[in-house]
Structure 1
């Protein structure tokens, strides 16, 4: 299976980077082909310009990186997004990726009448979002309403018609022991070694 990973974290010593390595190891064990879109190393510009918005209306992206990502995502059978949760939401580059790539005429289409969208990345069979955060999961769920799940998996990928959506949220990253961090990474590797 061809798996595209969209990754966003600027610091190489981050737990997110360790998560990325574990996911890739697991995918390699399962002999999946991986394609890494590293938004930070790509210097991806997350800002929607007037030209981008004109492209949105015309369903024609103008950012060369968006056109490149589109070609790569057209080959994907599974999409994985990995990023930290900062102030209850995603970093700017992840938000910009959603704004500029999950775009009409690129990732989805919709009929002139009606509200149902049709996914355009036809090979994608599943979307997995992996996040890291320092909050406790129960606090994020009860007090902040699982904001990232609602905005990304429901508000973006459910609305645009992508099925088999999953969220893996690694909580309290700074508070837990090094041993527990390592166990989480081992479990992630095992999860993606079983991806079908």
Structure 2
């Protein structure tokens, strides 16, 4: 299986960096794994339109072609990112805006409102960390990766999300809790 990891954290000496390392070490070597590190790539998240850059032509944008190719060649995508301000980091949101574009990730049939999901057949997993206590995140602030899971990947693109792993309340978590989460991540990806 071709696996694509999309990693969105500013540095590797972090919990998210440990998660990335755990995933990479746990995936069976029979799989081909490619990692996109958005910060290391200095990915430009700014979506812009003008007379040269038209929205309807984004699927041909040479700046994002390599990323679209990586998605096209993947069978499974793993997203690793923190939740900041109740949502994904701006760099990942910009990646979605610029790469998961119309006529690549989804399309609209003439006179129909429901999108045609162009990435059907692919699967994904989402791993998030955040500082919000679990119950507050679950009951009050309901994004925490769900917008990516449901509205973007499933509803628009046709990508089935197998699992969403979340470590809440990171700032108040103990070393043991973080290690247990890393074990959970490792055990899950050993079975991929």
Return the TM-score normalized by structure 1: 0.89
Correspondences of 1:154-165 after superposition (within 5 Å): 154-165=150-161
- Partners of 1:143 and 1:52 in 2: how far apart? 42
How far 1:52 sits from its partner (Å)? 9.8
Contact 1:127–1:162 under 8 Å retained in 2:
no
Contact 1:52–1:62 under 8 Å retained in 2:
no
Partner of 1:57: 56
Partner of 2:23: 23
Contact 2:22–2:185 under 8 Å retained in 1:
yes
Name the stretch that deviates more: 186-195 or 109-118. Answer: 109-118
- Partners of 2:125 and 2:51 in 1: how far apart? 27
Partner of 1:152: 148
Q: Secondary structure at the match of 1:86?
A: coil
- Partners of 2:175 and 2:39 in 1: how far apart? 26
Give me the CA root mean square deviation: 2.0
- Partners of 2:4 and 2:16 in 1: how far apart? 16
Return the TM-score normalized by structure 2: 0.90
What are the superposed Cα offsets for residues 93-137 of structure 1, whole Å, 9 maximum, x if unpaired?
Answer: 10001111110122222212222223333552x121111001112
- Partners of 1:121 and 1:189 in 2: how far apart? 27
How far 1:182 sits from its partner (Å)? 1.2
Partner of 2:180: 183
Equivalent residues, number: 191
How far 1:158 sits from its partner (Å)? 2.0
Partner of 2:2: 2
Structure 1's unaligned 5+ residue stretches are none
Q: Secondary structure at the match of 1:106?
A: coil
Partner of 2:86: 88
Contact 1:26–1:193 under 8 Å retained in 2:
yes
What are the superposed Cα offsets for residues 41-85 of structure 1, whole Å, 9 maximum, x if unpaired?
Answer: 100000011249943224534251x11101111110001111100
Please tell me whether residue 131 in structure 1 is matched to residue 128 in structure 2: yes
